[in-house]
């Protein structure tokens, strides 16, 4: 599956604090199309009604886990090309491999920060939303000031 530019994001996590932190990060980065669900089964139902470009799902959720949600997404013809990243505290190699084998594009380790989100997902951001450090040289964001040398 080829990487694509993301416009719409769907966040799935049973922890409201983690979801809200991700919402704030993506809003600060300029994304406006952000939807949320507390559980995997709810997310799958909503995604079937209105797909998203990117799904970020917590690995450990009651009911449909993040890995189960990933497998369900891959099994739906209308969702099979959705980018899916799992968010987890798990750092065991076997679980990371299981996620990749199931079709995840990657994983984000908790606790996460805006910087870690940019590092993992920045290459998927629309060109006008990319932080300056991700743009080719000479293409800074228009809303960022260009540093100048002190005078005198």
Full-model pTM: 0.82
CB-CB contact of 55 with 73 (8 Å)? yes
Of 32-36, 69-73, 88-92, 117-121, the range with the lowest mean pLDDT is: 88-92
For the stretch 103-149, pLDDT in tens is: 999 999 999 999 999 999 988 888 776 655 554 444 433 333 333 33
Helices (H), the chain: 16-28, 40-49, 66-75, 93-101, 114-121
Give the CATH number of domain 8-134: 3.40.50.2300
């Amino acid at each position: 599956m080829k990487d694509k530019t993301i416009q719409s994001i769907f966040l799935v996590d049973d922890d409201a604090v983690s979801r809200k932190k991700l919402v704030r990060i993506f809003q600060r980065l300029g994304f406006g199309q952000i939807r949320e669900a507390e559980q995997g089964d709810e997310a799958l139902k909503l995604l079937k009604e209105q797909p998203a470009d990117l799904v970020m799902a917590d690995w450990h959720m009651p009911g449909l886990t993040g890995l189960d949600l990933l497998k369900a997404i891959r099994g739906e013809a209308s969702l099979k090309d959705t980018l899916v990243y799992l968010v987890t505290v798990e750092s065991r190699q076997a679980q990371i491999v299981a996620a990749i084998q199931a079709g995840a594009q990657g994983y984000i380790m908790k606790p996460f920060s805006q910087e870690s989100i940019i590092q993992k997902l920045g290459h998927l951001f629309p060109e006008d939303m990319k932080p300056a450090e991700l743009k080719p040289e000479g293409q800074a964001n228009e809303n960022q000031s260009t540093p100048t040398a002190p005078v005198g």
